Amino acid sequence: MVTAQVSQAPAISPLAIKERTGSISIAEIIAIMKGEITGLHIKHGFSVEVADEIAANFTRNPGLKEREDGVPGQYIGASHYRKHAATYFAEAQNARPFVDALFGNLVDPVRGLFDALRRELHNQGVELRLASSKHGQANICRAICWSGTGTYALEPHDDVAQVLCAGKEYDLAAVANNTVVALNFYPSMPEEGGNLRIWSHKPTATDRKSQGVETTGYPYSTAYLDAIPSHDFQLQAGDIALIDGGFIHGVTRQSGYGKHRLLLNCFFGFAQPDLVLWWT
């Protein structure tokens, strides 16, 4: 008897991409939350002066740490990735003064967006708040500089597996049933490289199992992604990008020397029809 090794080609999900210059609109953010847009790139979405100041505050920040969870990078703040709720919320609390120090006396553009979205959702009868538990509350963002040295500075991954597998002590686990939106502000970018690449594929639990990334969503192999079309966001300091974090995405390596690539990142989405949670 001959047994054939059947390997299913990854399903292609079309990308709905919008790129423009200007200020971000709340309607577009809500369109991503509802799955109507996959990726939104706002060029010059926040001021370059503010971007420069945040980048300087990152470099001199005493809370700067090396990641020790298998994802190469330096960061300020907390990541819930592969952590129990008690650990995550304790880390978030400890890091809060360092996250605040990123903004110094500036008007924080991430908090500005959070407040504007909260007002609009409130008008629609929806509450927006930071994820929390008896152990504490999430921060508004984390700052990260990826340091992978292969093809990717940050390997291809999805942001949903880590939410699906968050323990029941997390209120945010329910967001995995809806769109997990990743919000990215770029205070510093290299001249070349450091693109945010998104592939036309939204993996299912079966896909993750086949790739051995059931609980992490990280990393997908280049071979797995080979035949899948992708889109590169070419970013500059002062840009904002939002994506449906369920689609596989990664960050291309920066070429040459020059400025480092710095990201402010957070996640949000509907936990219930009348509740949106926000975390890092």
Ligand X SMILES: O=C(O)CCC(=O)C(=O)O
Position 243, amino acid: I
Q: How many CB atoms lie within 10 A of CB 70?
A: 11
DSSP 90: H
User: Residue 47 CB, nearest distance to Fe ion (Å)?
Assistant: 25
In 3D space, the residue among 246, 247, 250 whose CA is nearest the CA of residue 269 turns out to be 246
Pairing of strands 181-188, 262-272: antiparallel
For Fe ion, the binding residue among 91, 108, 155, 159 (CB under 5 A) is 159
Contact of residue 29 among Fe ion, ligand X, none (CB under 5-8 Å per partner type): none
Whole-angstrom Cα distance, residue 211 to residue 43?
34
User: Residue 138 CB, nearest distance to Fe ion (Å)?
Assistant: 16
Total of residues contacting ligand X (CB under 6 A): 9
User: Residue 184 CB, nearest distance to ligand X (Å)?
Assistant: 5
- Write out the binding residues for ligand X, residues 71-130 only, by CB under 6 A: none
For ligand X, the binding residue among 249, 252, 276, 279 (CB under 6 A) is 249
- Write out the binding residues for ligand X, residues 130-189 only, by CB under 6 A: 154, 159, 182, 184
Torsion of Cα atoms, 63 then 66 then 72 then 74, to 10° = 30
Decide: 265 and 182 in contact? Cβ < 8 Å. yes
Instruction: Summarize as ranges the residues that interact with ligand X (CB under 6 A).
Output: 154, 159, 182, 184, 196, 249, 251, 263, 265
Instruction: Summarize as ranges the residues that interact with Fe ion (CB under 5 A).
Output: 159
